Chains A and B, each alone.
Chain A
Amino acid sequence: MFPYDKADWSTVDGPMFMLAGTAWPGIFTAIAAVICVWVLVAGNRSEQAQYKKAEK
């Protein structure tokens, strides 16, 4: 698993990103996806409020 015990990059022959081989990449991906959905929901709420404000 990366990072290897030995602090030597010459042994790297596969994934070289932080926390490769752990559950973290999946967790980061899930968080990133949730952020996108949350931002869209919050953004839509704000956008609709602007329309309502303009109609008044």
Chain B
Amino acid sequence: MEQQLAELTASVAALKASAGVTNTNFAETFYYLSIPLMIIIHAGFLAYEMGSSRSKNVLSSGVKNILAFAFVIPTFYFVGWWVYWGFPTGLTFSEGPMGISGWAYANSIAWGWGESAAYMGPNIEDQASGVFFGAFAMFAATTASIMSGAVIERIQTVGFIILAVVLGSFAWVVAAAWGWHADGWLVTQWGVHDFGAAGLVHAVAGFFALGVLMHLGPRIGKFNADGTANHIAGHNMPLTVVGLMLIIVGFWGFLMACVIVPGEAFSWFADKQATIYGTPITLSSLAFNILMAIAGGIIGAWIWTKDPFWMMSGALAGIISTASGLDIYYPALAFIIAVSAGMILKPAATWLENRGIDDAVGAVTVHGTIGLYGVVMLGIFGSGFPALAIENTSVLLARYGHVFLLGFVPGLYVAIILKKLGMLRVPATAEVAGLDTVKVPAQGYPEGIAPSGPASS
């Protein structure tokens, strides 16, 4: 009998160990797979921005995107990952209530030198740091790329890369540390809940772009002497629309990576998935709400525009407007919010254009304005719910303020510095000639592009 009990105990222990290995491998694979999905976002940004450029600038726009991706990853490794763990409690750099933040904690896990280097490279006992870093590096690259579309066809390459690094490896990371971290002071003190980062990624990036645009200025020919705007069409609408669809594919990886899997040392629950805030979530929540939001955004944009560019931008706006509460919205409510976001998209972009801002792809509107709209919508509908229990008007204003300031102020001031250094805007002669001719040793369309129009049959 005793021998049978011992054997049974050993079997149970072996089963537990095996289940633990399976869970750990699942957790590691879950985040690992989110990384290539998020790279699809960048394939989308690449296609979308190249399509939105005139043919004389198509490759220079692409070069800019590729380099932003390439520079944000290492700079996020050098600095950004440390900022995310060091900044949550604000400028005190003290340890937060969960004990996973502050100067000392960040120093122990997030520098690429000294003892913390053990967590910043291959380590057989650490199956989490690399995949978490990878997912966050993709969040960072995505944030930087949001700004990228707004500034096409007249920004200098190196100046743009500096802006992308400041946004992707610092500005948004501070916002994420404050409002997208279990120890973040906006979370612990004000109950901020922004599951899919409508404010922390999209609004920060959108308003960073606005700050840059104010000093970059419009493309030559965008505005007439009387201030009225001309439409500067990109050379390839199909490429732009497919690019937007690719961004939407990649969003599934982005939002998947916002989920904390169960059963690991870093998990909130043993048996269920959680948000970054420790509130429960299921992947079914995401499936229901993301799909309804995409559909709502497209329909909302179609009502006013009938334009495939704005319809696919509406799909993005649908996701962004509901991103904060994808974990707790009812799908039909997500659809209604997304329809409204799709409807206000084009009028909001036109409003900005009427104020002399040349946002070539509507990035400030899609990400900035709609990101804030999403934050406000959750504040309204989620008021009084668990983990949102201290939501009120002042908190809403604070959230509104911090995502605006953390994006707009760095964008504005770094753009001023670059302008003074002569590194912001390309010379007018180069802009008129086309940036590909001036600085890209390759041709986008060496055999030209056949014109199309109503007369062709």
Chain A residues with CB under 8 Å of chain B are: 3-4, 6-9, 12, 16-20, 24-25, 28-29, 31-32, 35-36, 39, 42-43, 46
Chain B residues with a Cβ under 8 A of chain A: 278-280, 285, 292, 296, 299, 302-303, 306, 325, 327-330, 332-333, 335-336, 339, 381-382, 384-387, 389
**Given A17-B330, A20-B330, 4 other A-B residues pairs in contact with their CB atoms under 8 A:** A7-B389, A24-B333, A35-B335, A39-B303
Give bound CA distance, A5 to B109, whole Å: 39
A4 to B279, CA, bound (A): 14
Contacts of B280 in A (CB 8 A): 9, 12, 16
Q: Are B306 and A46 touching (Cβ within 8 A)?
A: yes
Given known pairs A7-B389, A8-B386, A9-B278, the reply for A25 and B330 (CB within 8 Å) is yes
A32 lies within 8 A of B385 (CB)? no
Q: Which 6 A-B pairs have the closest CB atoms?
A: A28-B332, A29-B332, A32-B332, A7-B389, A17-B330, A7-B386
Q: A39-B299, A42-B303, A46-B306 are in contact. Are A4 and B328 (CB under 8 A)?
A: no
User: Once bound together, how far apart are the Cα atoms of A12 and B280, in whole Å?
Assistant: 8
Q: Which residue of A lies closest to B330 (CB)?
A: A17
User: Could you tell me if A19 and B386 are in contact, using CB atoms closer than 8 angstroms?
Assistant: no
What residues of chain A lie closer than 8 Å to B389, measured between beta carbons?
A: 7
Q: Which residue of A lies closest to B339 (CB)?
A: A35
Nearest CB of chain A from residue B243's CB, rounded to whole Å: 25
Q: List 15 A-B contacts (CB under 8 A).
A: A6-B386, A8-B386, A9-B386, A16-B285, A16-B327, A18-B325, A18-B329, A25-B330, A28-B332, A28-B333, A28-B336, A32-B332, A35-B299, A35-B335, A39-B299
Q: B209 to chain A: closest CB distance in Å?
A: 30
Of the candidates A35, A39, A42, A43, which one forms a contact with B336 in the assembled complex, judged by CB atoms under 8 Å apart? A35
CB pair B336 A9 closer than 8 Å: no
B329 touches A3 (CB 8 A): no
Q: In the complex, which residue of chain A has the Cβ closest to the Cβ of B389?
A: A7
Chain A contact residues: helix, strand, loop or mixed:
helix
- Give the distance in Å from the alpha carbon of A26 to the alpha carbon of B303 in the complex: 24
Once bound together, how far apart are the Cα atoms of A42 and B339, in whole Å? 15
State the CA gap A3–B202 with chains docked (Å).
28
Most buried by A among B302, B325, B332, B382: B332
Find the B residue at minimum CB distance from A31: B336
Residue on A with the closest CB to B191?
A7
A21 → chain B, closest Cβ, in Å? Answer: 11
- CB neighbours (8 Å) of A35 from chain B are 299, 335-336, 339
Query: Contact at B329–A43, with CB atoms within 8 Å?
Result: no
Complex: chain B residue closest to A42, CB-CB: B303
- Complex CA–CA separation, A43 to B64 (angstroms): 39
**Pair A3/B299 contact, Cβ less than 8 Å:** no
Q: How far is the CA of A45 from the CA of B336 in the complex (A)?
A: 22
User: Most chain-B Cβ atoms within 10 A of its Cβ — which of A25, A32, A36?
Assistant: A32
Checking B303, B329, B339, B387 against A17 with a beta-carbon cut-off of 8 angstroms, the contacting residue is B329
* Cβ contacts under 8 Å, B328 to chain A: 16-18
> Who on chain A is nearest to B292 by CB?
A32
CA of A9 to CA of B285 in the docked complex: distance in angstroms? Answer: 16
Measured CA separation A23–B389 after assembly (Å): 22
A31–chain B nearest beta-carbon distance, Å: 6
Q: Which of B285, B327, B386 contacts A4 (CB 8 A)?
A: B386
CB < 8 Å neighbour of A18 from B303, B306, B333: B333
